[in-house]
């Protein structure tokens, strides 16, 4: 009894006693806790009523207490693993799973939630409370509450076995990773390794018993831990060593006692059986039941991205071969997997004159964290300060921080465990909650309990007397994880079951993390974190420009790598039949035929180390990284359009982001959150100035048939960032079959239909409209530089100044580049695709003719001219459709029509009318075309 009373797991704590929890505490502590929670559950079922105090509040106390205690134990296993802790968890885990199933399958609780949903007071509930009720009902069904007794028993056995298998899978990966050690005694064998990698290898050798190891003289130990593995693959000139290390990495946990092959098959078999019991066709459908996407939409997204990435990836490989050949590499014509990273680094160094290892001194961890916290203060008005000693930690390297609001009051706390420890810490980087914000679990009975998070990375530790010097990718990882932590810590949601990251759809949870990564490329932010650890000198301007230019280096190849993982995940959880004619490795090879330029090696057993889907939460959900890129790109565009160098606008936009995406947590659907974040309901237009395909589709409703699928629409925005079109230009794509000779009629007389100003396009014929339009362009002010975009398609337009005395033919052809140079200095130009059918409007081909339409709108004190002026192939605007958008003019000026205002205020998000695939495809095209917004910004397989 005394042993139980002194058990740290059973203490009433806010910060877990990580320094005193040992393996011996796990079994008695968790068992005692479960016994108490069993009594609490029985009491809840006996007294439950469909009210918040009698249902949700006691339920939250039960759920939270188990989550906090088990979370502390699981966290220690992830960061300080040992045999005793494993054994203790394995012993008590079945009892913990059994309780969770009993709780999840409680019919009294389930029926009470259904009664709330069906009550006449349902509409009076807050959005957060509605989300809680709906989520609890859905989770109960997915937990088997509706199954008959025999099927529920079978379901419960499956859940128990899956928990055991997933734990074993992760342990095998960790054990096989740390099992590999390559001792190097001859420095020639590791020629090319940078000093930081040599220092780490020597430091590892010391920890393995080679007490006199030094970076200069060795010996050195190479491991499969990320900092060591990546250094060898990217920099070691010894091709034989690269091959050995690569083969060891792709065969982790695939042989002997650590072989995960049978475990994978059993996991997939049980997941399929579980899906069938619940009435689904496959496990992917079960997974998607709590996500934004459907299986079909996820597959469509991945295929569109794959198709768009393939040719650039092929070109990447050709460029690599040519470069290696020019460098005299004997393997140039037969590059293999252990060559691509090495030669990619050499090509990047040559192309951009940038060496990632040489940048390490500019990215010391202390200065990176200072810069990150400074950015958080600017964006969100918070102050992060060190609070080491306030909470117990599990190892001395761990830092503890307090997050304060602008008044200095604490609003959250977090732990940060940054360094790699391959002997006890699992690979990757992740964020998780320690405790969540909660009104019910208030510490003082009045104010909500404040959230606590932990961030874990696996970067290069300090070597010798130097601080941890980071690669730029490691910097991105820290920003990524901090984005997750911010959503947990800055929540203002007092309902604990939907506070922070709780109840956020899995394919939206990466939004804030990927959003934060974008700031690594913001000049002021990078200059703030990029300071030499010895001299304090900021990173040189030319290096910043090179980093920016290299952002999309090999974007196609990196995108395909992630698409392999995501596609394989869905294939295994939709089409794969355990025990069928195909093995899991056959499926991988089949997927690789469409997603990898280099086919995998015959002994590639990457699946045996795919912890994301077999030991983590990403089963049938790895696509979420790509899906969330849409949301994060849309969110960051708000800051771009506000003006990244406009501190006032950035702070205002950051405040809106904090009050929506970060504050609302799982209490509101992600698309609703995005809508509120992007649009101020008090404005009549969109301050952000970004039009998504959703808004453009709405625009197209007013002029159906305007464009065919071979045409691209360009919009330019005015200096205030409003989305009223300044210029509409049609751009003919390469693949559009256009009879050029027939339609090359720019010098032909063109008239608008009755009711519009008539003018002829002839030399030396300038109407008042032309002069007015020229005046307007002169009045527009510069808001940002136009993106560099050498579009390869045919794009011809009359120049914005409408100087028709340009001659004809080739002399009057203005490419997209000219358009951007003319318009871009005064406005932002964004390309959007619309797929519409010409025949919806035009009855005969005779009605297809060149047109030139000028209209005027009065906006903020000066006139703005929407203009449609293509050179070749234009669908003529019938009067009825033209008048829908631009009413008959009256003395060159009139108020903006209401239907245009409606188009303007539509939020740039995915809605029921426009699927997310279109937005993601647009973002990817922008990346390839403009070297902007790199595809697969999160291309690190070791991130969460």
- Catalytic residue set: 481
Distance CA 528, CA 512 (A): 21
Q: Note whether 895 and 932 are within 8 A (CB).
A: no
User: Would you say 887 and 856 are in contact if contact means Cβ atoms under 8 Å apart?
Assistant: no
Cα 576 to Cα 590: distance, rounded to the nearest angstrom = 12
Radius of gyration of the CA atoms of the chain, in A: 30
The span from the CA of 522 to the CA of 161, in Å, is 47
User: 519 near 482, Cβ under 8 Å?
Assistant: no
For tokens 């960061």, the residue is 79
DSSP state of 658: I
Residue 577, Cβ density class (10 Å: 0-12 exposed, 13-18 middle, ≥19 buried):
exposed
The closest alpha carbon to 375, from 552, 530, 171, belongs to 530
HSE (CB half, 13 Å, CA atoms) of 413? 19
Q: For residue 910, give the nearest of 628, 487, 519, 491 by alpha carbon.
A: 628
Report d(CA 885, CA 521) in Å as an integer.
39
* Residue listed under structure tokens 């005027």: 856
Separation of alpha carbons 86 and 642, rounded Å: 51
DSSP 435-479: E--BSTT-SSSSSPBPPEEEEEEEEPPP-TTS--BPPHHHHHHHH
Q: How far apart are the first and last CA of the chain?
A: 40
Residue 899: HSE in the Cβ half-sphere, 13 Å Cα cutoff:
13
Instruction: Give the C-alpha separation, 799 to 86, whole Å.
Output: 71
Q: How many angstroms separate the Cα of 572 from the Cα of each of 259, 286, 622?
A: 19, 14, 12
Provide the 3-class DSSP secondary structure of residue 385. Answer: strand
Q: How far apart are CA 741 and CA 853, in angstroms?
A: 22
3-state helix, strand, coil in the chain (%, to 5): 50, 10, 40
Identify the H or E element spanning 435: strand 430-435
Asked if 662 and 515 touch (Cβ cutoff 8 Å), the reply is no
Based on DSSP, count helices (H) and strands (E) in the chain, helices before strands.
33, 14
Give bridge partners of residue 830 from the DSSP assignment: 715
DSSP symbol at 668: S
Q: How far is CA 465 from CA 207, 421, 535, in A?
A: 17, 18, 15
Per the omega criterion (within 30 degrees of 0), is the bond before 128 cis?
Answer: no
SS3 sequence, 822-843? HHCCCCEEEEEECCCCHHHCCC
Q: Are 486 and 447 in contact (CB under 8 A)?
A: no
Contact criterion met (CB below 8 Å) for 110 and 137: yes
Q: What is the DSSP letter of 797?
A: B
436 Cβ partners below 8 Å, 6+ apart? 64, 449, 451, 488, 491, 496, 499, 500, 502
Q: Residue 490 gets which letter from DSSP?
A: S
In the block, tokens 């595809």 appear at: 935
- In sequence order, what DSSP letters do the residues of 753-789 get, joined into one string? PTTS------TT---HHHHHHHHHHHHPPP-SPPPP-
Question: Count of alpha carbons within 13 Å of 55, Cβ hemisphere only?
Answer: 21
């Amino acid at each position: 009894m005394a042993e139980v009373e002194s058990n740290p797991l059973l203490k009433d704590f806010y910060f877990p006693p990580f320094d005193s929890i040992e393996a011996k505490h796990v079994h008695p502590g968790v068992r005692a806790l479960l016994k108490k929670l069993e009594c609490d559950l029985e009491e809840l079922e006996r007294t439950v009523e469909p009210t918040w105090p009698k249902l949700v509040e006691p339920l939250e106390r039960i759920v939270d207490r188990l989550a906090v205690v088990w979370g502390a134990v699981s966290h220690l296993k992830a960061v300080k693993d040992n045999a005793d802790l494993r054994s203790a968890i394995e012993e008590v885990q079945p009892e913990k799973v059994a309780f969770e199933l009993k709780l999840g399958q409680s019919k009294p609780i389930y029926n009470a939630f259904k009664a709330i949903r069906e009550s006449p007071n349902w509409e009076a509930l807050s959005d957060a409370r509605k989300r809680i009720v709906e989520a609890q009902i859905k989770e109960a069904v997915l937990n088997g509450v509706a199954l008959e007794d025999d099927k529920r028993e079978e379901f419960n056995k499956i859940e128990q076995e899956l928990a055991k298998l997933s734990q074993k899978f992760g342990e095998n990966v960790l054990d096989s990773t740390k099992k590999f050690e390559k001792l190097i005694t001859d420095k020639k064998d590791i020629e090319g390794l940078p000093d930081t990698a040599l220092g780490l290898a020597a430091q590892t050798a010391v920890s393995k018993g080679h007490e006199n190891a030094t970076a200069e003289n060795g010996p050195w130990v190479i491991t499969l831990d990320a900092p060591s593995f990546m250094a060898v693959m990217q920099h070691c000139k010894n091709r034989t060593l690269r091959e050995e290390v690569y083969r060891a990495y792709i065969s982790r946990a695939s042989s002997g006692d650590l072989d995960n092959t049978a475990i994978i098959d059993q996991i997939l078999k049980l997941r399929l059986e579980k899906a069938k019991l619940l009435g689904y066709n496959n496990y992917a459908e079960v997974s998607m039941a709590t996500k934004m996407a459907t299986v079909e939409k996820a597959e469509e997204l991945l295929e569109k991205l794959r198709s768009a990435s393939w040719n650039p990836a092929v070109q990447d490989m050709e460029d690599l071969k040519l470069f290696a050949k020019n460098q005299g590499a004997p393997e140039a014509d037969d590059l293999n997997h252990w060559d691509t990273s090495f030669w990619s680094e050499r090509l990047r160094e040559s192309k951009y004159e940038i060496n990632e290892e040489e940048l390490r001194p500019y990215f010391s961890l202390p200065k990176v964290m200072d810069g990150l916290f400074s950015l958080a203060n600017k964006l969100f008005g918070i102050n992060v300060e060190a609070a080491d000693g306030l909470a117990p930690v599990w190892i001395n390297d761990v830092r503890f921080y307090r997050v304060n609001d602008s008044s200095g009051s604490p609003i959250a706390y977090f732990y940060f465990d940054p360094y790699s420890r391959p002997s006890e810490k699992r690979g990757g980087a992740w964020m998780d909650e320690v405790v969540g914000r909660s009104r019910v679990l208030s510490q003082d009975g009045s104010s909500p309990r404040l959230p606590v998070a932990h961030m874990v990375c696996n970067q290069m530790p300090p070597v010798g007397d130097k601080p941890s010097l980071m690669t730029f990718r490691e910097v991105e990882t820290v920003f990524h994880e901090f984005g997750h932590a911010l959503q947990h810590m800055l929540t203002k949601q007092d309902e604990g079951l939907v506070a922070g990251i709780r109840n956020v759809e899995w394919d939206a949870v990466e939004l804030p993390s990927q959003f934060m990564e974008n700031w690594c490329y913001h000049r002021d932010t990078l200059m703030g974190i990029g300071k030499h650890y010895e001299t304090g000198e900021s990173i040189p301007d030319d290096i910043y420009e090179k980093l920016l230019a290299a952002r999309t280096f090999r974007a196609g190849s990196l995108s395909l790598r992630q698409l392999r993982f995501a596609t394989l995940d869905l294939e295994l959880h939709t089409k794969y039949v355990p025990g069928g004619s195909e093995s899991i490795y056959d499926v991988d090879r089949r997927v690789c035929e469409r997603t990898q330029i280099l086919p995998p090696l015959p002994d590639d057993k990457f699946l045996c180390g795919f912890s994301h889907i077999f030991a983590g939460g990403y089963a049938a959900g790895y696509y979420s990284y790509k899906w969330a890129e849409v949301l994060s790109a849309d969110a960051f565009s708000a800051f771009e359009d506000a003006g990244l160098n406009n501190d006032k606008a950035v702070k205002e936009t950051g405040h809106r982001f904090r009050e929506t995406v970060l504050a609302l947590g799982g209490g509101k659907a992600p698309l609703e959150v995005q809508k509120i974040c992007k649009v101020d309901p008090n404005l009549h237009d969109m301050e952000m100035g970004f039009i998504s395909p959703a808004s453009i589709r709405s625009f197209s409703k007013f002029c159906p048939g305007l464009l065919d699928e071979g045409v691209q629409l360009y919009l330019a925005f005015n200096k205030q960032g409003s989305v009223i079109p300044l210029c509409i230009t049609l751009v003919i794509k390469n693949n559009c079959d256009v009879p050029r000779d027939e339609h090359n009629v720019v010098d032909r007389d063109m008239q608008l239909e009755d009711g519009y100003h008539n003018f002829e396009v002839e030399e030396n014929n300038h109407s008042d409209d032309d002069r007015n339009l020229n005046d307007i362009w002169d009045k527009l002010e510069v808001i940002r530089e136009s993106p560099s975009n050498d579009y390869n398609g045919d794009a011809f337009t009359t120049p914005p100044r409408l100087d028709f005395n340009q001659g004809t033919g080739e002399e009057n052809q203005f490419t997209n580049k000219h358009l951007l140079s003319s318009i871009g200095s005064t406005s932002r130009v964004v390309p959007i695709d619309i797929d519409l059918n010409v025949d919806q409007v035009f009855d005969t081909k005779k009605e297809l003719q060149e047109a030139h339409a000028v209209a005027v709108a009065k906006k903020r004190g000066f006139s703005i001219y929407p203009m449609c002026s293509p050179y070749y192939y234009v669908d003529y605007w019938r009067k009825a459709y033209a008048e829908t958008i631009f009413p008959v003019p009256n003395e060159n000026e009139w108020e903006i029509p209401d239907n245009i205002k409606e188009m303007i205020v539509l939020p740039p998000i995915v809605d029921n009318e426009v699927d997310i695939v279109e937005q993601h495809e647009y973002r990817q095209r922008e990346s390839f075309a403009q070297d902007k917004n790199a595809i697969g910004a999160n291309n690190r397989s070791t991130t969460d």
